[in-house]
Amino acid sequence: MDKLVVTGGGRLTGEVVISGAKNAALPILCACLLSAEPLKLTNVPELNDIGTMLKLLAQMGVKVEREGENVTLDASGLNNPLAPYELVKTMRASILVLGPLVARCGEARVSLPGGCAIGARPVDQHIKGLQSMGAEVGVEHGYVVAKVGRLKGARLFTDMVTVTGTENLMMAACLADGETVIENAAREPEVVDLAQCLISMGAQISGAGTDLIRIRGVEKLHGASHRIMPDRIETGTFLCAAAITGGDIRLLGTSTGYLDAVVDKLLDAGCEITGEKTAKHECIHIIAPPRLKAVSIRTAPYPAFPTDMQAQFMAINAVADGTAIIRETIFENRFMHAVEMQRLGADIKIDGNTAVMKGVEKLQGATVMATDLRASASLVVAGLVAEGETHVERIYHLDRGYANIEAKLNALGANIRREKA
Ligand code: UD1
């Protein structure tokens, strides 16, 4: 397996272009299943997870054309509403085909995703919602099997805020008979981006971005064009990379509006951050001090601090001045990177879902193992300031979710090389 070798020490300066959002692109790719007309997407990030989703759609009979960041999907020949285990196991977001398939085909067989490194991550809320809309849904031989004539609009309430759950049910409701109301809906910007794409396909949706989404079902959706929003987690990761190195960088094609909670914490840590608009780009400019102040965080659903930025803030706090408390409230097992950071010399004490960190003057390079996508990114960020070489192993996680991360960081002055296994 490939690894990244990060030589610490450089201060990041310059400009980086932020890619389209993985977590917006994945549900939006699935939205093509709702229509027999083509969906044209731009700013689709070039990532392994996107490749997996396109493979999954293609084996269902969707015609896929991909040219760099432009993807056209034509689901007029959709003939196989099946998501096999082999594809679903590598990417949990495959569950996002369930809602659209049931709505358009009246049936679906989608493998249960199973657990993953950060927690159990069940899909019971997706299933409960479809059942409330009149589908017969059961689990057979590890597959979610759903059947229905036509879904019926219903009042849906999820037990917790779930992002892909909200997206799945919102897509399903677009073709249901009558009105669906999703209460306790996720308010993430990616849910809003999906809703905007669906609306341009003819869906009748209001309230996306609030915790109550109303969808009036229509007979069918038509073709559309849509540009995927910028990736706020990639944005946040590069902000942290700049911050930890005392850097000064501009992030192009993104905006602070998507990540107030993260920006707030970086301001508390002592960074200067401004949103700027040029003729060509929206952009963010960050200037970081030589040493950051420690900042405590608590993850929670949007608009609070995102769990997908928790690991990167652990890297920052590892070398910041002072003590920070990190509380993870979304996933039960999302501190595996802490043990790896301890190998770099970080002072971290874990008690359940709480980590107490005391910043140290210096980290030291070591061999560490990436355990999930954002954990991998945090280890690279930590490696940027560790003395000597940090070898980050198992980086296939990183390639799932970050487009050209080492090339982008090297263009800012980092020293990272990929070693093939
Ligand atoms: C999405 C994001 C992921 C992010 C997460 C939380 C995508 C493709 N992935 O994941 O990057 O970390 O949101 O912001 O957008 N839960 C249940 N039953 C369900 C659904 C969820 O118990 O049916 C629980 C989960 O185990 C978790 C919590 O609800 O503890 C939130 O999970 P959810 O928002 O669904 O995460 P994902 O949508 O899988």
The neighbour count for residue 272, using CB atoms within 10 Å, is: 12
Closest of 189, 167, 181, 159 to residue 302, by C-alpha:
189
Establish whether residue 163 lines the binding site of ligand 1, counting it when its CB lies within 6 angstroms of any ligand atom: yes
Q: What pLDDT sits at residue 175?
A: 98
Q: What pLDDT sits at residue 179?
A: 98
Is the separation of the CB atoms in 145 and 190 below 8 Å?
Answer: no
Q: What pLDDT sits at residue 121?
A: 73
30, 105, 116, 271: the catalytic one is 116
Q: To test ligand 1's pocket by mutation, which of 23, 50, 144, 163 has the most ligand atoms within 8 angstroms of CB?
A: 163
Mean pLDDT of the chain: 95
For residue 302, the ligand 1 atom closest to its alpha carbon is: 14
Q: What pLDDT sits at residue 356?
A: 98
Establish whether residue 93 lines the binding site of ligand 1, counting it when its CB lies within 6 angstroms of any ligand atom: yes
Radius of gyration for the chain, computed over Cα atoms and rounded to the nearest angstrom: 21
In this structure, the dihedral spanned by the alpha carbons of residues 301, 303, 308 and 310, taken in order and rounded to 10 degrees, is -100
Q: Whose CA is nearest to atom 12 of ligand 1?
A: 308
Question: pTM for this one?
Answer: 0.97
Q: What pLDDT sits at residue 421?
A: 75
d(CA 178, ligand 1 centre) in Å: 27
Closest of 38, 9, 415, 12 to residue 237, by C-alpha:
12
Q: Note if 240 is an active site residue.
A: no
Q: Whose CA is nearest to atom 34 of ligand 1?
A: 162
Cα distances (Å, whole numbers) of residue 394 to 156, 315, 388, 413:
40, 18, 20, 24
* Amino acid type, 386: A
Q: What pLDDT sits at residue 268?
A: 98
Per-10-residue mean pLDDT for the chain, 421 residues long? 92 97 98 98 96 96 97 97 91 94 97 68 92 96 95 96 97 98 98 98 98 98 98 98 98 92 98 87 94 98 97 98 97 90 97 96 95 92 98 90 94 95 75
The Cα–Cα gap between 41 and 20 comes to 11
Closest of 272, 274, 320 to residue 296, by C-alpha:
320
Sort strands 179-183 and 143-147 into parallel, antiparallel or unpaired.
Answer: unpaired
Upper half-sphere CA count for residue 335 (Cβ side, 13 Å)? 20
Q: Whose CA is nearest to atom 22 of ligand 1?
A: 122
Q: What pLDDT sits at residue 276?
A: 86
Establish whether residue 335 lines the binding site of ligand 1, counting it when its CB lies within 6 angstroms of any ligand atom: no
Establish whether residue 125 lines the binding site of ligand 1, counting it when its CB lies within 6 angstroms of any ligand atom: yes
d(CA 122, ligand 1 centre) in Å: 9
Q: What pLDDT sits at residue 118?
A: 59
Establish whether residue 124 lines the binding site of ligand 1, counting it when its CB lies within 6 angstroms of any ligand atom: yes
Q: What pLDDT sits at residue 117?
A: 63
Is the separation of the CB atoms in 341 and 318 below 8 Å?
Answer: yes
* Amino acid type, 350: I
The interaxial angle of helices 124-132 and 163-174, nearest 10 deg, is 20
d(CA 125, ligand 1 centre) in Å: 10
